[in-house]
């Protein structure tokens, strides 16, 4: 293409003047546009259509060799874009399905599964002049893949974590002692119930204010089982006010079973596990009233808590009770930590079941999950290091090919969607 710096510069000047003096008007066609249409660019060649990998058989990838006119030194550009057209192999007309900008010899097309297609690509120049089309010679049908290879890392991780769980369950069954660090809040159950027994006072257990479908309530009920068993063994008194009717029923059955397993079914009183109200602050008023009147010597808060956490903990603190809390609500944890004697924090709370039961399959699961968490934490640290190193070395002009590849994999596959969103 011939170069026309003067005409191009004049157009820019006119645009600038028009912008400065909005009252002025010009003819619709600028002098440049009035020039005769350019000659069509050379067509793209070697068109290849392939199945898109790692998908559900609903995509094809079209690749071609760029037009000879699609070069860097052309100014203005001769080729502005490529238009991709397709038609079913069984017959029909070519229809435009997408475009690819200059210098991009690839296009991913979403197609119907089970249909074979033919493609053609046209290079488009200035003034929408089009090159002759390059056509694929063979019809290609998309193929369904059973596995998404870009998610292989996830499969490996899954295998490792599941394998760890199975492995740890097996070794726990063989009698190997799996170490779980002592959780002070759970160790303190005996101490708190003992204190209540010595002081001749009751033990108060609050299973949170959420319903039984909340996993924290379920974890709280697990701890309740242990507390109730200890209370039964010590022949103390247990009071469980609940904020949901279903939680009450579950708690009643749990406490009854605990008393039975402690060999004290006669000591169980159904009325000690009761329903107060669904209303958040109505419930809190009821529980704190019980605290002030009966002055329990030990209070347990195990479940999901909101604004009432500090009200409960401060009230029990004022009556001199030992308090053990457990929740996975990050916003409430600082209050519990500061006001209670012992606090189960997040994961500790969920680990309570395995910790208390000591059963092989629960301990094995806990250990296996720890392995998964360990791998996750390692990957996060590794990813940060790789991406930081890539940036630093690139700035200093080093060859960072491998690091870039790792970084790309981490950002596109591990952190990205791995092709799942298409």
Partner 1 sequence: MTDLDPANINVILATDCGSTTTKAILIQKVDGQYRQTHRGEAPTTVEEPVADVTVGVTNAVTEVGELAGRKLIDENGEVIRPASGDVGCDIYISTSSAGGGLQMMVTGVIAEMTAASAKRAALGAGAIVMDTIATNDKRQPYQRIERIRELRPDMMLMSGGTDGGTVKKVVEIAELIPPARPRPRFGSGYQMPVIYAGNKDAAETVTETLGDSVALSVVPNLRPTMEVENLAPARDAIHDLFLEHVMAHAPGYDKLIKWTNAPIMPTPGAVGDILKTIAQRQGISAVGVDIGGATTDVFSVFPGADGEPVFNRTVSANLGMSYSISNVCAEATMPVILKWVHFDMDERELRNRVKNKMIRPTTIPQTREALVFEQAVAREALRLAYEQHKAFATTLKGVQQQRTVGDTFSQDTGGQTIVDDMALDLLVASGGVLSHAPRMEQTAAMLVDAFQPRGFTRLAKDSIFMMPHLGVLASVHPEAATEVFERDCLIQLGVCIAPAGKPKPGKLCFKYQIDGVAADDEFAEVLHHSGEIACGEMKLIRLPAEQEARVRVEPARGFDCGAGRGKPVERKVRGGTVGLVLDGRGRPLDFEAREEVAGWYEALELYPE
Window contacting partner 1 (CB under 8 A); options: 126-134, 139-147, 340-348, 407-415: 340-348
Residue 121 backbone phi and psi in degrees, to 5: -130, 135
Least distance from C-beta 316 to partner 1, angstroms?
10
Residues in contact with 54: Cβ distance below 8 Å, sequence separation at least 6, in sequence order: 145, 147, 148, 149, 150, 151, 419
Of 165, 321, 360, 366, the one binding partner 1 (CB under 8 A) is 321
Least distance from C-beta 350 to partner 1, angstroms?
17
Give, as ranges, the residues between 352 and 391 that touch partner 1 (CB under 8 A).
Answer: none
Q: In what order do the strands lie in the sheet with 237-242?
A: 273-275, 237-242, 202-206, 298-302, 322-327, 342-345
Number of residues that bind partner 1 (CB under 8 A): 31
Nearer to partner 1, 230 or 252 (CB): 230
Nearer to partner 1, 191 or 294 (CB): 191
| 28 burial type by CB count under 10 A (0-12 exposed, 13-18 middle, 19+ buried) | exposed
Of 117, 205, 275, 342, the one binding partner 1 (CB under 8 A) is 342
Give, as ranges, the residues between 219 and 258 that touch partner 1 (CB under 8 A).
Answer: 233-235
Per DSSP, the residues of 161-219 read HHHHHHHHHHHHHTT--------HHHHHHHHHHHHHHHHT-EEEEE--SS-TTSHHHHH
| 5 burial type by CB count under 10 A (0-12 exposed, 13-18 middle, 19+ buried) | exposed
Nearer to partner 1, 194 or 286 (CB): 194
Of 122, 124, 192, 209, the one binding partner 1 (CB under 8 A) is 192
Nearer to partner 1, 201 or 226 (CB): 201
Nearer to partner 1, 51 or 190 (CB): 190
Q: Are 87 and 118 in contact (CB under 8 A)?
A: yes
Residue 127 backbone phi and psi in degrees, to 5: 70, 20
329 binds partner 1 (CB under 8 A): no
Nearer to partner 1, 31 or 320 (CB): 320
Closest CA to 301 of 205, 188, 222, 201: 205
345 binds partner 1 (CB under 8 A): yes
Task: Name the residues that contact partner 1, by CB under 8 A.
Answer: 182, 184-185, 187-188, 190-192, 194-195, 197-201, 233-235, 320-322, 333-334, 337-343, 345
């Amino acid at each position: 293409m011939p170069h026309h710096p003067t005409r191009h510069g004049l157009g820019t000047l006119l645009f600038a003047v028009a912008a400065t003096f909005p009252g002025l008007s010009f003819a619709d066609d600028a002098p440049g546009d009035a020039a005769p249409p350019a000659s069509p660019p050379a067509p793209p060649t070697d068109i290849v259509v392939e199945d898109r990998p790692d998908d559900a058989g609903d995509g094809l990838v079209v690749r071609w060799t760029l037009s000879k006119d699609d070069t860097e030194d052309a100014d203005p550009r001769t080729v502005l874009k490529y238009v991709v057209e397709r038609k079913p192999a069984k017959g029909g007309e070519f229809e435009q399905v997408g475009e690819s900008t200059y210098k991009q010899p690839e296009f991913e097309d979403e197609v119907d599964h089970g249909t074979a297609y033919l493609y053609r690509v046209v290079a488009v120049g200035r003034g929408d002049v089009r090159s002759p089309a390059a056509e694929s010679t063979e019809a290609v049908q998309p193929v369904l893949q059973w596995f998404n290879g870009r998610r292989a890392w996830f499969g490996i991780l899954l295998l490792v974590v599941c394998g760890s769980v199975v492995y740890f369950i097996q070794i726990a069954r063989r009698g190997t002692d799996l170490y779980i660090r002592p959780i002070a809040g759970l160790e303190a159950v005996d101490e708190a119930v003992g204190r209540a027994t010595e002081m001749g006072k009751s033990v108060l257990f609050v299973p949170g204010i959420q319903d039984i479908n909340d996993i924290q309530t379920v974890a709280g009920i697990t701890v309740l089982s242990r507390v109730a068993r200890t209370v039964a063994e010590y022949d103390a008194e247990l009071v469980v006010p609940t904020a949901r009717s279903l939680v009450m029923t579950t708690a009643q059955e749990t406490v009854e079973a605990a008393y039975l397993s402690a060999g004290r079914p006669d000591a169980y009183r159904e009325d000690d596990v009761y329903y107060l109200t669904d209303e958040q602050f109505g419930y809190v008023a009821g529980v704190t009233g019980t605290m002030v009147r009966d002055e329990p010597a030990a209070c347990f808060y195990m479940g999901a808590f909101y604004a009432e956490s500090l009200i409960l903990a401060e009230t029990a603190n004022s009556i001199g009770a030992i308090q053990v809390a457990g929740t996975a609500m990050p916003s409430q944890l600082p209050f519990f930590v500061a006001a209670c004697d012992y606090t189960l924090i997040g994961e500790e709370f969920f680990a309570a079941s395995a910790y208390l039961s000591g059963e092989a399959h629960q301990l094995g699961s806990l250990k296996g999950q720890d392995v998964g968490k360990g791998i996750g934490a390692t990957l996060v640290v590794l990813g940060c290091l790789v991406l930081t190193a890539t940036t630093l070395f690139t700035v200093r002009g080093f060859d960072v090919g491998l690091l870039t590849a790792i970084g790309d994999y981490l950002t596109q596959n591990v952190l990205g969607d791995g092709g799942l969103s298409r």
